[in-house]
A and B are shown apart, each in its own frame.
Chain A
Amino acid sequence: MVDKTVLARQFIEAIPHAKALGLDLTHIGEGEAEISMPYNEQLIGDPRTGVIHGGAVSAMLDTCCGAAVMSHPSAPGGTATIDLRIDYMRAATPGQSIRTRATCYHITRNVAFVRATATDDDGDRPVATASGAFTVEGR
Chain B
Amino acid sequence: MGIARLRPHQVHLPWKVAEMARPRPEPMQLVKQRRDAALTALVEGVPYIQFLNITFDRRGDELTGVLNFDDKLIGNPFLPAIHGGVTAAFLEVTAVITLSWEHMFPRIESGEIGADDILTDENIRFPKTIDFTVDYLRSGLPRDAYARAFINRSGRRYASVRVEAWQDNHAKLFAQGTGHFLMPQSPTSKA
Contact = CB atoms under 8 A, between A and B. Distances in A.
Interface of A: 14-20, 41-48, 52-56, 58-63, 66, 78, 80-88
A43 B51 contact: yes
Contact of B92 (A46, A48, A58, A82): A58
A16 B75 CA distance: 6
B48 A48 contact: no
A105 B160 CA distance: 30
Sorting the interface of chain B by its residue count into under 10, 10 to 19, 20 to 34 or 35 or more gives 35 or more
Given A17-B75, A18-B83, A78-B76, 11 more contacts: A15-B76, A47-B45, A53-B49, A54-B129, A54-B132, A55-B89, A61-B85, A62-B85, A81-B136, A85-B131, A87-B131
Contact of B48 (A42, A62, A66, A88): A42
Contact of B132 (A14, A78, A85): A85
A19 B134 contact: no
9 shortest interchain CB distances as A-B pairs: A59-B85, A55-B89, A53-B48, A62-B85, A17-B83, A20-B72, A81-B84, A85-B133, A58-B88
Contacts of B89: 53-56, 58-59
Contacts of B47: 41-45, 47
Interface in B98-120: 119
Contacts of A16: 71-75, 77, 83
Contacts of A47: 45-47, 119
B139 interface: yes
B86 interface: yes
19 contacts: A16-B73, A19-B72, A41-B47, A43-B47, A43-B48, A54-B132, A55-B90, A55-B93, A56-B89, A58-B89, A59-B85, A59-B86, A62-B83, A78-B78, A81-B84, A83-B133, A84-B136, A86-B131, A86-B133
Contacts of B56: none
Contact of A66 (B49, B84, B90, B134): B84
Interface of B: 45-52, 71-78, 81, 83-86, 88-90, 92-93, 119, 122, 126, 128-136, 139
Interface centre among A15, A20, A42, A44 (most CB of B within 10 A): A20
Nearest to B48: A53
A83 B72 CA distance: 22
B143 to A, nearest CB: 15
A80 B134 CA distance: 13
Contacts of A42: 47-48, 50-51
Nearest to B179: A86
A1 B72 CA distance: 32
Contacts of B136: 80-84
Contact of A88 (B45, B74, B77, B128): B128
Contacts of A20: 72-73
Nearest to A14: B77
A114 B30 CA distance: 51
Contacts of A87: 130-131
